[in-house]
Structure 1
Amino acid sequence: MRALLKPFLPVLAALSILAAPAGARPLSGEEKEKLQQTVAAFDKAMRDEDYDKVANTIPPRVMAFIAKQAGLEVEALRTVVVQQMEAALAAVELEEFGMDMDALKQAELADGEPYALIPTETVMNSEATGRMRAKSETLALLDEGQWYLVRVNDLQQVAILRQVYPEFAAVEFSGGTMEAIE
């Protein structure tokens, strides 16, 4: 089974490049509206295969950290990320993709900054493995008043997130699941 999942791991990583504690304040009307716009734009970009727009939802501190580690400027890294998404997604058909905003879980960090976890489902198909369904959460975080999205089912991604956004160190994320479907 693990071998069947292997071709999809780069796809899930490319899509990434998101437990509400008691007492979390609700998102303001403006915050929720901006989040809905960000998710809608991301969803449209995924369906349109506009990976440049998808890459723009990666938090700036995450991009800066990875760029520094790779010895690249951020814009050069963004180009590489887009190319990797194109290559990874060329090998599979993205049948379904969606973030369930109705099931969004709102929370807040110790400093009062809100964030949200959005259930995310992806159905992919490839000749090598057939149809696969991935279920995970997407973290929506605010940085300088702008919402950014991070898939938090990958330990490496979570480690980078926590390095550059240490305020998320105590936040627990679910691991997500992947299953073969008919």
Structure 2
Amino acid sequence: MALALAFASGIVAARPLTDSERSGLADTVATFDAAMRGADYAAVSKTIPPKVLGFIANKGGMDVEKLREVVIEQMTKALAEVKIEAFSMDLANAEYRELQTGEPYVLIPTETIINAGDKGRFKAKAQTLALIDEGKWYLLRVNEDKQVTIMRQVYPQFVGVEFDSGSVEALK
């Protein structure tokens, strides 16, 4: 009965990652972490799956490179108004899961502490989805419904997979 409940809830033990997959995931997370800390939003944008960018670009009537420029510009503007005091992706406590297709994916606990000046300081906790597309790891935020909806349109194998909506708390 417990096994049936585990399968029904989508919480099943994933196949172990291959050495190559594990190394690729660690490299992708390290690259993203360094890019966030260094405000290198061009590097951050390269961790977004090309198929997701293609989908959004197509809906917006622009090419992918133009969309990437817009994403970088928006990130630069949004993050210029706040200071990221701390950022971490906790790969050691990540949840390794498997889709019905047998493809692995990983939910990485992610925490950001932001100082918004006179608006206060905030701690945001969320999960970052790491997925493999054409042999390469990519990262997606999955704490907002709009992001999840787009991701599921591009990757329908994630329909039915539940994601934590995350939290934001004010700090003193």
What is the TM-score with the length of structure 2 in the denominator? 0.93
Paired residue for 1:124?
Answer: 114
In the TM superposition, structure 1's runs of 4+ consecutive aligned residues that sit over 2 Å from their partners are none
Matched-pair contact (CA < 8 Å) for 1:20–1:106: no
For residues 16-49 of structure 1, the C-alpha deviation after alignment (integer angstroms, 9 at most, x for no partner) is: xxx8722321111110110000000000001111
Tell me which moved more, 20-29 or 166-175. Answer: 20-29
Paired residue for 2:86?
Answer: 96
**Structure 2 CA distance for aligned equivalents of residues 131 and 86 of structure 1:** 19
Matched-pair contact (CA < 8 Å) for 2:12–2:98: no
Work out which of the two has the higher radius of gyration on C-alpha atoms and give 1 or 2: 2
**Structure 2 CA distance for aligned equivalents of residues 20 and 37 of structure 1:** 27
Structure 1 residue 146, shift from structure 2 partner: 0.5
Of residues 62, 76, 98 in structure 1, which corresponds to 2:66? 76
Matched-pair contact (CA < 8 Å) for 1:20–1:105: no
Give the superposed CA RMSD.
1.1
Paired residue for 2:133?
Answer: 143
**Structure 1 CA distance for aligned equivalents of residues 119 and 13 of structure 2:** 44
- Counting matched residue pairs gives 164
Matched-pair contact (CA < 8 Å) for 2:49–2:138: yes
Report which structure shows greater RCO (CA 8 Å, sep ≥6): 1
- The letter for the 2-side match of 1:66 is I
Paired residue for 1:112?
Answer: 102
- The letter for the 2-side match of 1:81 is V
What is the TM-score with the length of structure 1 in the denominator? 0.88
| 1:162 paired to 2:164 | no
For residues 44-79 of structure 1, the C-alpha deviation after alignment (integer angstroms, 9 at most, x for no partner) is: 001111000000000111100110111110000000
SS of equivalent to 1:98: strand
- The letter for the 1-side match of 2:138 is Y
